[in-house]
């Protein structure tokens, strides 16, 4: 009888030790979680406009379906927007919310839109990630449309991976031209660049002071060579992201009715 009681006490002690070890892990466990996957860091510059909330909602609904993803949303604003903050708090994603205003010379017009916001996102990563932490950085505009497959294509990027972009430069698509598994040229509406690619068409990227249409080219020229690019999406023959830019604010001519409603 004593032996039985002693055995029961030992079993209870072992069970207690097991719970002490496992409970902290349960708090961070998620169904379907894949801890070994490299994290995808999506940096999105955004600015206030009639379609901002609609565009961000659509993008959030896409990103929420991608495992191991951290959304860095950077507003072109002097203060964080309550509307954007509320959307992020409900989006179900790991996120970081930042803001920085465009330079004074860009207040009316600017040829390198989003540079300050993308650079702030990169600065956050430098401060919060170690040199040995695995992951990939992707710059996702908030008014583009993304196939979920795109994110798995980019996840194991070694340096810079590339793919086609649809509905851009008055063309059905732009894309890298691939021969024997390597990028050898570009099908683009803006020739004359070493890297004839849109920001949506590469992972890991940004450069201050870039000229119109040259942000991608200037940055990639300092980072890699064309022959070292990693073609994705079946050797750049499939479109998995579309440049579906929304309409400018000038088209929304009628004022909102004077009632309490959040658009």
Binding site per annotation, positions: 143
Q: Round to whole Å and give the CA distance between 69 and 199.
A: 19
Q: Round to whole Å and give the CA distance between 167 and 159.
A: 26
Catalytic residue among 116, 153, 174, 216: 216
Q: Round to whole Å and give the CA distance between 115 and 255.
A: 31
Q: Round to whole Å and give the CA distance between 202 and 216.
A: 9
Radius of gyration of the CA atoms of the chain, in A:
23
Note the helical H segments in 27-51: none
Mapped onto helix, strand or coil, the DSSP state of residue 96 is strand
Detail the residues annotated as belonging to a binding site for Mn(2+).
143
Residue 63 CB contacts under 8 Å (≥ 6 apart), including other chains: 42, 69, 71, 91, 93, 140
Q: Round to whole Å and give the CA distance between 58 and 47.
A: 15
Which of 211, 223, 222, 186 minimizes the C-alpha distance to 201?
A: 186
Q: Is 216 labeled as catalytic in the residue annotation?
A: yes
Structure tokens given for 46:
């955004």
Q: Round to whole Å and give the CA distance between 197 and 18.
A: 53
Q: Round to whole Å and give the CA distance between 226 and 197.
A: 11
Which residues form the catalytic set? 216
């Amino acid at each position: 009888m004593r032996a039985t009681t002693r055995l029961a006490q030992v079993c209870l002690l072992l069970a207690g030790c097991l719970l002490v070890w496992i409970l902290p892990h349960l708090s961070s466990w998620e169904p379907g979680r894949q801890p070994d996957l490299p994290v995808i860091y999506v940096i999105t510059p955004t600015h206030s406009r009639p379609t901002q909330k609609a565009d961000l909602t659509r993008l959030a609904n896409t990103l929420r379906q991608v495992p191991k993803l951290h959304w860095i949303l950077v507003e072109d604003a002097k203060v964080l927007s309550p509307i954007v903050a509320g959307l992020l708090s409900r989006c179900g994603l790991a996120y970081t919310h930042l803001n920085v205003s465009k330079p004074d010379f860009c207040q009316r017009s600017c040829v390198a839109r989003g540079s300050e916001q993308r650079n702030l996102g990169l600065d956050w990563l430098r401060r919060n990630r170690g040199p040995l932490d695995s992951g990939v950085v992707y710059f996702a505009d908030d008014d583009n449309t993304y196939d979920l497959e795109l994110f798995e294509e980019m996840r194991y990027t070694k340096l810079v991976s590339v793919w086609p972009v649809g509905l851009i430069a008055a063309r059905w698509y732009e894309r890298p031209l691939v021969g024997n598994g390597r990028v050898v040229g570009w099908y683009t509406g803006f020739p004359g660049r070493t890297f004839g690619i849109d920001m949506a068409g590469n992972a890991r990227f940004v450069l201050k002071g870039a000229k119109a249409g040259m942000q991608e080219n200037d940055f990639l020229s300092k980072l890699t060579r064309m022959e070292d690019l990693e073609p994705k999406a079946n050797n750049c023959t499939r479109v998995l992201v579309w440049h579906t830019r929304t309409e400018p604010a000038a088209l929304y001519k009628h004022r909102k009715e004077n009632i309490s409603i959040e658009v």
